[in-house]
Structure 1
Amino acid sequence: MENLNINDTSSGGRNHADSASLSPDEKLELCLIGTMLTDKSVRFKAMQECFASLWRPSQQVEIAAIAGNRFLFQFFHWWDMERIFQAGPWTFDNHMLVLKKLAIGDEPLAVKLDEVEMWV
Structure 2
Amino acid sequence: MAPTKDPAGGFGDEREADPHAIPGEEAPSGAPSGSCPPVEDLLGRLNLEEEEDAGFVWEDEVKEPDVKAKWLAIAKVHTNRGFSPSALFADMRSAWNPAQEVTWRKLEDNLFTIQFACLGDWNKATKQGPWVFRNQAVMIEEYDGFSNPKSVVLDKIMVWA
Q: Which has the higher contact order (CA 8 A, sep 6+)?
A: 1
Give TM-score scaled by structure 2 length: 0.55
Partner of 1:50: 91
Please identify the structure whose Cα radius of gyration is greater. Answer: 2
The reply to whether residue 100 of structure 1 matches residue 134 of structure 2 is: no
Whether the 8 Å CA contact 2:125–2:140 is kept in 1: the answer is: no
Give TM-score scaled by structure 1 length: 0.72
Partner of 1:111: 152
Stretches of structure 1 that go unaligned for 5 or more consecutive residues are 1-21
Query: What's the offset of the Cα at 1:23?
Result: 5.3
Matches within 5 A, 1:1-120: 24-25=67-68, 27=69, 29-103=70-144, 105-120=146-161
Stretches of structure 2 that go unaligned for 5 or more consecutive residues are 1-64
Cα deviations by residue, 1:100-119 (Å, 9 ceiling, x for unpaired): 00136422232111111211
Whether the 8 Å CA contact 2:102–2:115 is kept in 1: the answer is: yes
Summarize the Cα distance change of 1:105–1:45 in structure 2 as closer, same or farther, 3 Å threshold.
closer
Cα deviations by residue, 1:37-62 (Å, 9 ceiling, x for unpaired): 11112221111111112212111101
Q: After TM superposition, which residue ranges in structure 1, 4 or more long, deviate above 6 angstroms?
A: none
Whether the 8 Å CA contact 2:76–2:111 is kept in 1: the answer is: yes
- Whole-angstrom distance in 2 between the partners of 1:104 and 1:45: 22
Cα deviations by residue, 1:71-119 (Å, 9 ceiling, x for unpaired): 1111011111011211101000111001100136422232111111211
Q: Percent identity?
A: 24
- Superposition CA RMSD, Å: 1.8
Summarize the Cα distance change of 1:77–1:23 in structure 2 as closer, same or farther, 3 Å threshold.
farther
Summarize the Cα distance change of 1:23–1:86 in structure 2 as closer, same or farther, 3 Å threshold.
farther
